Structure 1
Amino acid sequence: MEERSLAVTRRSLHGVAELVLAGPQHGRGGGIRLRVVPGGFGTTDGDFRVEGDALVAPAGTVRLTGTYAELAAAVGLEARPLDEVYSGGPMIASHEHLEIDPAAARLLAEAFACGDAALRAFAPGETPVLWPEHFDVGITVDEVNYGVSPGDDHLPEPYAYVGPWTPPTGAFWNAPFGATRTLAELSDVLEFFTAGRSLLDN
């Protein structure tokens, strides 16, 4: 996968997560949490969701094209940023245009699905959340963040992470906030989460 296609698609999907899904949901009093769904991610009530390079809504399915404002309007929503909630979001304006590579969108959806499944197996009592701020799916257990990111400034490709609130030292911990491994180098994300927890418990 070409790095630029992945980065551009990831940014566009991040914008959809905030402006078209979480922002309007928050405006309706539903909070900002999103969830992983087959083929992508969606609102907690399941009414609006991204599947591949399409937005599925009660009013119908539309392609992820045009501006964020146009996309939201096509399904009866108003694009809404979450600047009043957090400061670390995608910083995308509603008049910007989306740019989606379908193959990159599928890869990112697979990363979220992999992360969601591993998190549910790792901590069955927790519900994974896809956060619109950093666009990752994660949980927190005993002051440790576990999750999967589709890539960011730290790593440009999908990766799993273990982020203790107080980062430890040692060979396993290869990031300023804890430990990361790209999904490409992991044969089992659950094993990575389990290894991190084991080191922290000892």
Structure 2
Amino acid sequence: MTGRRLAETRRAWHGVAEILLAGPQYRRSGTIRLQVVPGGFATVKAPALRVVGAELIVGEQRLALAGNTPAGLAAAVDVDAGVPDIYDDHSGVREDEALVVDGEIAAHLGACFTAGDAALRRVLPGQTPVLWPEHFDVSVTVDEVNYGVSPGDSWHNEPYAYVGPWAPREGAFWNAPFGAARSLGEQPSEASIAEFFEEGRAKL
């Protein structure tokens, strides 16, 4: 899995999450929150759209992301394309930009989100993980601590789990500017992510 291809696919996924899911959902239903579904992510309210691997899914309709533009996909599924206008930290993907999506990498990112969502539900039962489109990670916040999984970013290109206390902590465990992070590797595991979250809770 090359760093460039991973970054391109992640950027495309992020752009689709904002332009085709969160933006239309916010304008129609008043929320930017998204949710993890097996292998990808989806809206939580109307319009009902999902991304699984390298495809956008609406009902029985399945459209390839790779090579298509957000504007073209929006027209095909009849949604109002555009990012939510309530935050500034966007992916940078243009509505007329041809998306670069590697199917194998998209499947891996979906597996990371799926394992992370399951780990959050296991360690923090009663909490509902949210996939936030602005930072493009799935997380929950409990007692002023953020727990989540990111598909990677400018700080760390590979997908990783994190524990981010609002107040800084000291010690070897806290290895990131925002707290603690652990790379998910090639085979993300719900059990190993949950173990990391539990370790973070114990050290807090």
Aligned: 1:158 with 2:162 = no
In structure 2, C-alpha distance between the alignment counterparts of 1:52 and 1:34, rounded to whole Å:
16
Q: Which residue of 2 aligns with 1:3?
A: 3
Query: Runs of 4 or more off by more than 2 Å in structure 1?
Result: none
Cα distance between partner residues in 2 of 1:191 and 1:38: 21
- Displacement of 1:91 in angstroms is 2.2
Residue identity in the other structure for 1:190: A
Listed as ranges, the gaps of 5+ residues in structure 1 are none
Superposed displacement of residue 194, structure 1: 0.7
Deviations 1:44-95 (A, max 9, x none): 148210011111113622111311111111111121112x211112122211
State the partner residue of 1:75: 77
- For residue 180 of structure 1, give the secondary structure of its aligned residue in structure 2: strand
Report the RMSD for the aligned CA atoms in angstroms: 1.5
Where do 5+ consecutive residues of structure 2 fail to align?
none
TM (norm. structure 1) is 0.94
* 1:24 and 1:78 in contact (8 A); partners too: yes
| 1:112 is the counterpart of 2:113 | yes
Q: Secondary structure at the match of 2:17?
A: helix
CA distance in structure 1 between the aligned counterparts of 2:149 and 2:175, rounded to whole angstroms: 16
Tell me if structure 2 keeps the 8 A contact 1:59–1:75: no
Aligned equivalent of 1:193, options 185, 197, 201: 197
Give the equivalent residue in structure 2 for 1:176: 177
Report if the CA contact (8 A) 2:25-2:45 is conserved: no
Q: Number of paired residues? A: 199
In 1, the alpha carbon distance for the partners of 2:29 and 2:45 equals 12
Segment drifting more, 43-52 vs 96-105: 43-52
> Residue 164 of structure 2 contacts residue 180 of structure 2 at CA under 8 Å; is this kept in 1?
yes
In 2, the alpha carbon distance for the partners of 1:51 and 1:189 equals 21
Partner of 1:18: 18
1:33 aligns with 2:37: no
